Structure formats: C-alpha cells, structure tokens
C-alpha cells in the first residue's frame, strides 16, 4: 500500500477507535483528513487522483456507518470537485478540496453557534435552580449549556456516564471546567435521576435524522426519551440539519453501527454472546422539539428545512 494511503488509514482509525468522537467532531476531522490526503496526491494524474480520493472517501465513511454529517460533508466536497473537474489540473485539486472543506466547516460552525443561542433560550432564567439532563457527549448540547452559563442562568446538569466508552465523563469534565454544577450517574439510574432531581428539561444530541423525523443517537437515548415521556419532562434534540440522511427519503434505512463486543466485555466465558450497538432510534413522537440552526420545530420538518437551507446538498 502506498504511503499516502497508509496515513489516511491511520487517520481513519482515530475516528473508528472513538479517539475522535461525536458526529460534529467526526465530520470536521473527516473532511480535514480528506483535504490532507489530497495534498499528498500532488504527483498523481487527474484520473488517478479522483480514483484515490473516492477510495479515501469510502474508507472514511466506513469508519462510522451512522454519521450523515460526515458523509454529507465528504459528498459535498466531491460533488463540487466533480463540477470543476473539466477545468482542473491535478496539482490544483488539493486547493479546490481545501476551499470546499472550509465551506463545509463554516456551515457546521455557523449552525453550532446558532443552535447554542436558540437552545440556551429554552433554559429558563429564574431564581429557582433548573435541572437539565443529558446523555453521552454532544458538542452541540455542551455549546447550549455553555451559552446558558454565560448568561448566568441558574441550572445544574445531570449526566449519564454512557457505557461502554464513558463519553459522559467528557461532558462532565467540559461542563465543570466552565463552572457548571454537574451530577454524574450510571446509565441505569436515568429514570431515578429524572424523578429524584425533578429534572425540568432533557437535551441530547443526534448522529442522524431520517426523513420521518426519527433521530438516531447513542444507545440509551430512547430509554431517556421514554423516561421523559413517562415523567412529562420536555425532551429536546440539538442537531444541525446537516445530520439529515437524504437517502432515508428514498426508502433506505439508516444503519445502526454495531461496535466491537470487546468494548463491553474483553474476554467473556465461552457461550456468551455480547452485543454492542452504538446507537438507537428515538421516534419523533417522543421528541418535543429539534433545536436546529433554522429554529426549533418538529423533527419531521427536517427534510423541508434541509432543502431550503442547503439546496446544493440535496
């Protein structure tokens, strides 16, 4: 295997192993890895260059199968590049990729800023302490909470540890560093915590959104949504529209990533099957609102908003 590809495989492994985690971080890093890879292709001719780029895109997409923000980004860059192919010389391909990588990166960052501001407004500004609960680690949810903190809102966060990889600790660390009070519980205490603290609001992130408005997020998300339903706690999902998977509109089902069972149990006794689903679906009927860059609305409206906000990506 050529050296250029070897580095890409190392980069891809950083996503697969969860060293880089969370849909937005995955998308940002994957487009950067593609751009870095393109820079290493400078000696290839145009056809060879495109062949290698498509190979790299497939490798990156395969790292985490439930990540439309990454897939949409890589496809956006490649479709823009295809349009410029006729007038493009091989040595300038990396410049074109860099340009569209930056464009997609800016879309993600702009969306995040807007979501932080819109989402923070859902945390009431009252004297009595508000309890907000979240699950796993979502940079969008963290951005909302940091924004609310910067507005001096009086709230505390309850967060789950998120087995088997404990991404909840990342959330807890980030929030506590910003001076936000945090209580950390095991996943199976989620119902207990909602009742015990009389949680006012639950906000989780998303990895994928389907055309029916189903969201897919870390395993345990549906459980939390059901608890919210039972306890009458408003349940919100914070996500840029860029996590919409347009293929679901064509009838294709979103894939749920199954991860290595060793993450759950390194050496189980013989005869025990260990399963490790990374994500699960949350049906739109349990979601009070999707917090997006275009505002807060029912998750089933996503295809329309996506088309309106990102016509080039349809």
Residue with tokens 């495109």: 50
Backbone angles phi, psi at 17, to 5 degrees: -80, -5
Q: Tell me the CB-side half-sphere exposure of residue 150, using CA atoms within 13 A.
A: 10
- Interstrand relation of 208-209 and 215-218 (parallel, antiparallel or unpaired): antiparallel
How far apart are the C-alpha atoms of 133 and 36, rounded to whole Å? Answer: 38
The secondary structure of residue 63, as a DSSP letter, is H
- In the bound state, the residue with its beta carbon closest to ligand RUB is 205
Residue among 36, 187, 207, 288 flagged as catalytic: 207
Q: Which residues bind ligand RUB (CB under 6 A)?
A: 18, 21-25, 136-140, 167, 205-207, 217-218, 278
Between 154 and 255, CB nearer to ligand RUB: 255
Q: Is 207 a catalytic residue?
A: yes
Q: How many CB atoms lie within 10 A of CB 89?
A: 9
How far apart are the C-alpha atoms of 22 and 69, rounded to whole Å? Answer: 10
Q: How distant, in Å, are the alpha carbons of 169, 186, 292, 314 from that of 166?
A: 6, 10, 26, 35
**Least distance (Å) from ligand RUB to the CB of residue 113?**
13
Between 52 and 210, CB nearer to ligand RUB: 210
How far apart are the C-alpha atoms of 281 and 292, rounded to whole Å? Answer: 18
Residue 5, judged by CB atoms within 10 A of its CB (0-12, 13-18, 19+), counts as: middle
Between 85 and 262, CB nearer to ligand RUB: 262
**Least distance (Å) from ligand RUB to the CB of residue 219?**
8
* Tokens representing residue 270 in the block: 């013989």
Between 137 and 284, CB nearer to ligand RUB: 137
Q: Is 11 a catalytic residue?
A: no
Is the Cβ–Cβ distance between 157 and 132 less than 8 Å?
yes
Between 65 and 234, CB nearer to ligand RUB: 65
Between 32 and 154, CB nearer to ligand RUB: 32
**Least distance (Å) from ligand RUB to the CB of residue 141?**
6
Residue among 44, 49, 136, 288 flagged as catalytic: 136
**Least distance (Å) from ligand RUB to the CB of residue 207?**
5
**Least distance (Å) from ligand RUB to the CB of residue 101?**
18
Closest CA to 182 of 168, 162, 192: 168
How far apart are the C-alpha atoms of 314 and 25, rounded to whole Å? Answer: 22
**Least distance (Å) from ligand RUB to the CB of residue 136?**
4
Which residues belong to the active site? 136, 207
């Amino acid at each position: 295997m050529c050296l250029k590809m070897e580095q890409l495989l190392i980069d891809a492994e950083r996503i697969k192993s969860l060293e880089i985690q969370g849909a937005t971080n995955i998308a940002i890093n994957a487009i950067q890895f593609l751009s870095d890879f393109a820079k290493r292709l400078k000696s290839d001719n145009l056809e060879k260059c495109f062949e290698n780029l498509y190979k790299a895109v497939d490798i990156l997409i395969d790292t985490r199968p439930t990540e439309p923000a990454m897939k949409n980004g890589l496809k956006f860059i490649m479709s823009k590049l295809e349009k410029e192919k006729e007038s493009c010389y091989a040595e300038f391909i990396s410049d074109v990729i860099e340009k569209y990588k930056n464009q997609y990166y800016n879309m993600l960052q702009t969306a995040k800023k807007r979501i932080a501001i819109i989402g923070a407004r859902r945390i009431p500004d009252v004297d009595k302490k508000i309890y907000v609960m979240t699950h796993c680690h979502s940079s969008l949810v963290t951005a909302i909470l940091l924004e609310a903190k910067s507005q001096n809102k009086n709230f505390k966060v309850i967060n789950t540890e998120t087995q088997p990889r404990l991404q909840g600790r990342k959330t807890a660390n980030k929030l506590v560093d910003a001076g936000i009070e945090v209580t950390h519980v095991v996943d199976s205490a989620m119902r207990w915590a909602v009742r015990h603290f009389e949680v006012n609001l639950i906000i989780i992130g998303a990895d994928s959104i389907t055309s029916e408005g189903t969201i897919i997020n870390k395993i345990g998300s549906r459980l939390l949504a059901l608890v919210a339903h039972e306890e009458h706690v408003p349940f919100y999902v914070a996500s840029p529209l860029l996590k919409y998977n347009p293929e679901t509109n064509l009838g294709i089902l979103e894939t749920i990533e199954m991860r290595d069972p060793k993450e759950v149990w390194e050496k189980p006794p013989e005869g025990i099957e260990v399963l490790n689903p990374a994500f699960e679906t949350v049906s739109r009927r349990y979601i009070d609102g999707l917090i997006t860059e275009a505002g807060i609305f029912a998750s089933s409206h996503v295809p329309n908003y996506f088309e309106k906000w990102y016509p080039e990506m349809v």
